[in-house]
Structure 1
């Protein structure tokens, strides 16, 4: 299928019934995008059903301060973005992009930019990106984010992941 033949992408707020597709896209994008950056055993251990259950809980929680947007190709979910209040006291902006993932088969098709716009608008924001994730860093730079020098390490699946902070004024 050529770029011109791709169906249009629509963006809307996520609902609890999106959880199964969110779980699938979340796991699949991690497995493909983070290959070589995260140990393969960790990627292989990711579970669609468990991730979907976490998404359903998150989307049904009225106390969740964040918002999640989904990108759809027809009725097929191809990506998502979540944003909300900064989760750290010394944040460089009040709004944090918590996650933005687009299925790799749709990379470069504009869904990521549409999701970022829906989740952040033109507000100042920041995000954390996995160190070494050159494709994501290039994408975030294209939409106005810049490295600010801050780093952190977080455990995931028994592995320490190193992240770098990017800020958009």
Structure 2
């Protein structure tokens, strides 16, 4: 991004996703998962992830959302999707789905990290949760993801003591421990 007078600045933004964004979201998701889960999933599982199949699922989801407060946001550099996030009511048993909104997915393309896209996307998530009248934001992250934890805590999020273990492969072979962070969305 240039800061010289008279020179254009980078064309970056965040917005609500459209059904036509499905392919770009799927491509970011595949690249992000291949990096984030390289130590958890067998290489052949990650290599077999098909962006076209994942895009079809995203297209269906974007065409017919399950809940009026479920939102998919995309981070853009010009017209290229560089990240995405999903917000909506939490499904956690110990939370209030009216007051507690969750960032259920949050990914920035590995090649586009550390360029400000994540910060813009996080702020868009918070703004969306506030607009949807949630008073507390929640976000689950892998317990070993120190970079994401630092990113969120620097933005004001903090652990709330909740934790869980997920079976990512459905057969008990790939388990990941997660911790939950939260932030107040009102003063």
Which of the five TM-score ranges fits, normalised by the shorter chain? Answer: 0.7 to 0.9
1:29 is aligned to 32
Cα distance in structure 2, aligned partners of 1:55 and 1:83: 14
Matched residues in 1 for 2:62 and 2:177: separation? Answer: 27
> What is the match of residue 53 of structure 2?
50
Larger radius of gyration: 2
Unaligned runs of 5+ residues in structure 1 are none
Q: Which string of whole-angstrom CA distances, capped at 9 and with x for unpartnered residues, describes residues 133-165 of structure 1?
A: 111111111211111221111222242222111
| d(CA) in 2 for partners of 1:81, 1:58 | 13
How do 1:134-153 and structure 2 match up within 5 A? Answer: 134-153=146-165
Alpha-carbon separation, structure 2, partners of 1:132 and 1:89: 24
Equivalent residue, structure 2, for 1:164: 179
Match of 1:132, SS?
coil
CA distance in 1 between partners of 2:49 and 2:176 (Å): 15
After the TM superposition, which residues 119-130 of structure 1 pair with which residues of structure 2 at under 5 Å, given as runs? 119-121=125-127, 123-130=135-142
Partner residue, 1:12: 15
Q: How does 1:95-114 map to 2 (within 5 A)?
A: 95-114=101-120
Aligned residue for 1:69, secondary structure, equals: strand
Scaled by the length of structure 1, the TM-score of the pair is 0.88
Per-residue deviation, 1:41: 4.0
The answer for the alignment partner of 1:133 in structure 2 is: 145
Shift of residue 34, structure 1, vs aligned partner:
2.8
The answer for the alignment partner of 1:118 in structure 2 is: 124
Equivalent pairs, count: 167
| Distance (Å, rounded) in 1 between the aligned partners of 2:143 and 2:151 | 14
User: How far 1:39 moved relative to its partner?
Assistant: 4.2
Unaligned runs of 5+ in 2: 4-8
Cα deviation for residue 33 of structure 1 reads 2.6
Matches of 1:76 and 1:134, distance apart in 2: 28
Q: Distance in 1 between matches of 2:48 and 2:86?
A: 23
Deviates more, 1:17-26 or 1:129-138: 129-138
